[in-house]
């Protein structure tokens, strides 16, 4: 052993890493998928193998959004990436940037070309899509009668809308003859008006398995159908060209069954909600009516009438008493004034004066009452009228007015 050059494990591993990673920066490897292990962090760990060797591989979470299928053990895959050395374990692995099923690259290119061609003809135009009936009585299913998709559809429709009649239009869903038979079943359903809506699809599978639903004859049959069609091909991540020509795409056959029964279920729920709302509204309005009519009950009306009338009666009584008092005071005042006037009148009455000893002297020749000495002259006949009787006299002498 030559001891002139000693390398630590880390140094040796670093040299290996530099050589490997520098030499295999962009590679494409094809192999069978095995030991597939999705981690809790979202990364994919797996092994690619063939008849003579195997190599570890990893695809990190940030690259999974570009993945169009679900990897499974036994699949033949083609991955693109670079070789990386994991120094802590002394192992190497492929860091995958892209992944596809082996052989699907050319197939995808073919489907993309076909998609552009059919789209240019207007088969995928949105305005051509027909509305799905809200309450279909008959649903047609174009699929394999022995497949799990048909069983799922029947179970869901039986549970959600037992009154819907289901017609199975049997057709193989993979193989060379599948596309032609599927197209004929769609045409027959339209020819004989067998259903109000058609579900065309199958369960999940590889891109090759789903290929019949991307064949031109099937896509044209779907686009030409007068019966609205729901395309339900594979799982949620799967796709086919019939999805673009159909009036509605469902991610799975089970979802398609839920879609055709959704309006019925939603309507039943809506009716139940409306019944409950109507009941709550009527109860609320009745309670409010009772509350508003409570003041108009007999005993309440009597109480309210009394509460309105009683203050007015009290005011009326007070006004009456005040009026009577004012009248009484007025009468008393007038009576006193009358008495005073009567007293004054009586005091000024000639009779009263005469009763006090005074007499009225009248010049009988002139008939005037004598008030001043100048009213008579000697020799005039005078009539003296005391309280009773008349005394005659004659003026002998008129004396001047005496000083007080």
pLDDT > 70: percent of the chain: 95
Cβ-based burial of 358 (10 A; exposed 0-12, middle 13-18, buried ≥19) = exposed
Residue 92 inside a domain? The answer is yes
Backbone dihedral region for residue 275 (phi beyond 0: left; psi -120 to 50: alpha; all else: beta): alpha
Q: What is the mean pLDDT of the chain?
A: 86
Last residue of a domain, one of 222, 249, 265: 265
Pairing verdict, β 138-143 and 165-170: parallel
Report how far residue 150's alpha carbon sits from residue 157's, in angstroms, rounded to the nearest whole number: 11
Same domain, 256 and 133: yes
> Collapsing DSSP states into helix, strand and coil, what is residue 379?
coil
Q: Is the pLDDT of residue 15 over 60?
A: yes
Residue 334 and residue 361 in one domain:
no
* Same domain membership, residue 362 and residue 329: no
pLDDT, tens digit, 9 for 90 and up, residues 255-276: 999 999 877 777 888 889 999 9
- Confirm whether 2 is domain-assigned: no
Q: Is residue 276 part of a domain?
A: no
- Token look-up 């779907």 returns 222
Longest CA–CA span in the chain (Å) reads 207
CA dihedral angle for residue 154, residue 133, residue 236, residue 146, rounded to 10 degrees: 30
- Place 399 in a pLDDT band, splitting at 50, 70 and 90: confident
Task: Say how far apart CA 135 and CA 40 lie, in whole Å.
Answer: 44
In a shared domain, residues 380 and 330? no
- Which residue in the block uniquely carries the two structure tokens 């088969």? 123
* 3-state secondary structure at position 367: coil
The dihedral formed by the CA atoms of 368, 371, 375 and 377, expressed in degrees to the nearest 10: 110
**Which H or E run includes 11?**
helix 9-23
Q: Is there a domain that residue 1 lies in? A: no
Highest mean pLDDT pick, 65-79, 173-187, 333-347? 173-187
Average pLDDT over every residue of 382-391:
80
Same domain, 19 and 147: no
Sheet with 138-143: strands ordered across: 165-170, 138-143, 197-202, 229-233, 248-249
In a shared domain, residues 316 and 366: no
Annotate 233-275 with three-state secondary structure: ECCCCCCCCHHHHCCEECCCHHHHHHHHHHHHHHHHHHHHHHH
Do 162 and 257 belong to one domain? yes
Residue 4 CB contacts under 8 Å (≥ 6 apart), including other chains: none
Band of the pLDDT at 404, cuts 50, 70, 90? very low
| Lookup: tokens for 56 | 């570890």
Q: Residues 277-294: pLDDT tens digits?
A: 999 999 999 998 888 877
Query: Per-residue pLDDT for 96 more than 90?
Result: yes
Mean pLDDT calculated for residue range 304-329: 85
- Say if residue 125's pLDDT is above 90: yes
Distances (CA, A) of 276 to 160, 279, 289, 290, 370: 21, 5, 20, 21, 118
- Residue 102: the pLDDT is 80
**Could you give the CA distance from residue 277 to residue 19 in angstroms, rounded to a whole number?**
75
Q: What confidence category does residue 2 fall into, taking pLDDT thresholds of 50, 70 and 90?
A: low
Indicate if 81 and 161 belong to the same structural domain: no
Range of the domain at 389: 353-394
3-class SS of residue 286: helix
d(CA 48, CA 94): 9
285 lies in some domain: no
Higher pLDDT: 144 or 296? It is 144
Residues 340, 348: contact at Cβ < 8 Å?
A: no
Is residue 274 in some structural domain? no
Q: Are residues 65 and 42 in the same domain?
A: yes
Residue 307 has a pLDDT of 78
Rounded mean pLDDT of 373-398?
A: 81
Q: Is residue 368 part of a domain?
A: yes
Indicate if 189 and 248 belong to the same structural domain: yes
pLDDT at 94 exceeding the cut of 60: yes
Q: Which residue has the higher pLDDT, 108 or 65?
A: 65
Contact 257, 230 (CB under 8 A): no
pLDDT at 215: 94
Domain boundary among 265, 282, 309: 265
Task: Identify any residues that bridge with 233 across adjacent strands, giving them in sequence order.
Answer: 202
Please report, for the domain that includes residue 236, its CATH number: 3.40.50.2300
Pairing, β 197-202 against β 165-170: unpaired
User: What pLDDT band is residue 57 in, cutting at 50, 70 and 90?
Assistant: very high
Of the candidate ranges 30-39, 207-216, 255-264, 384-393, the one whose mean pLDDT is the lowest: 384-393
Q: How many domains does the chain have?
A: 4
Give 307-359 as a 3 state SS string.
Answer: HHHHHHHHHHHHHHHHHHHHHHHHHHHHHHHHHHHHHHHHHCCHHHHHHCCCC
Give the pLDDT confidence score for residue 331 in this predicted structure. 92
396 close to 380: Cβ distance less than 8 angstroms: no
Asked, for residue 41, whether it belongs to a domain, the answer is: yes
Whether residue 216 contacts residue 279, with contact meaning beta carbons closer than 8 Å, is answered with no
Average pLDDT over residues 312-319: 86
- CA–CA gap between residue 80 and residue 92 (Å, rounded): 16
Final residue of a domain: which of 248, 265, 282?
265
pLDDT of residue 105: 56
CA 143 to chain centre: 41
Q: What is the CATH number of the domain that holds 15?
A: 2.40.50.140
- My answer on whether 234 and 317 are in the same domain is no
Sequence-distant (6+) residues with CB within 8 A of 222 are 186, 200, 229, 231, 242, 245, 246
Q: What is the pLDDT of residue 9?
A: 83
User: Do 53 and 94 have their domain in common?
Assistant: yes
């Amino acid at each position: 052993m030559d001891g002139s050059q000693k390398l630590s494990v880390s140094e040796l591993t670093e040299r290996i890493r530099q050589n490997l990673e520098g030499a295999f920066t962009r590679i494409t490897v094809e192999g069978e998928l095995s030991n597939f292990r999705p981690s809790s962090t979202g990364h994919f760990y797996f092994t690619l193998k063939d008849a003579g060797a195997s190599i570890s591989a990893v695809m990190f979470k940030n690259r999974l959004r570009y993945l169009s299928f679900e990897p499974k053990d036994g699949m033949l895959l083609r991955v693109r990436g670079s070789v990386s050395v994991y120094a802590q374990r002394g192992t190497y692995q492929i860091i995958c940037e892209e992944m596809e099923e082996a052989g699907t690259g050319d197939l995808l290119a073919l489907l993309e070309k076909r998609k552009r061609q059919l789209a240019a003809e207007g088969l995928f135009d949105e305005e051509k899509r027909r509305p799905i009936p809200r309450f279909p009585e008959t649903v047609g299913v174009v699929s394999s009668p022995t497949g799990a998709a048909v069983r799922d559809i029947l179970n869901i429709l039986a549970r959600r809308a037992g009154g819907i009649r289901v017609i199975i239009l049997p057709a193989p869903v993979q193989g060379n003859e599948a596309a032609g038979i599927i197209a004929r079943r769609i045409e027959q359903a339209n020819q004989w008006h067998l259903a109000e809506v058609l579900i065309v699809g199958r369960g999940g599978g590889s891109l090759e398995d789903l290929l019949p639903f991307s064949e031109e004859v099937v896509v044209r049959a779907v686009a030409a159908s007068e019966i609205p069609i729901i395309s339900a091909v594979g799982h949620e991540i799967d796709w086919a060209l019939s999805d673009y020509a159909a009036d509605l795409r469902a991610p799975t056959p089970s979802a398609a069954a839920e879609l055709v029964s959704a309006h019925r279920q939603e309507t039943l729920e809506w009716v139940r909600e409306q019944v409950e709302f109507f009941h709550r509204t009527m109860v609320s309005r009745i309670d409010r009516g009772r509350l508003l009519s409570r003041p108009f009950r007999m005993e309440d009306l009597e109480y309210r009438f009394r509460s309105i009338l009683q203050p007015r009666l009290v005011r009326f009584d007070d006004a009456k008493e005040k009026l009577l008092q004012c009248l009484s005071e007025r009468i008393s005042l007038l009576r006193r004034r009358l008495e005073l006037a009567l007293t004054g009148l009586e005091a000024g009455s000639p009779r009263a004066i005469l009763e006090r000893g005074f007499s009225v002297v009248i010049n009988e020749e002139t008939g005037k009452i004598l008030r001043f000495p100048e009213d008579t002259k000697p020799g005039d006949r005078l009539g003296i009228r005391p309280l009773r009787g008349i005394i005659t006299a004659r003026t002998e002498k008129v004396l001047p007015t005496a000083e007080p």
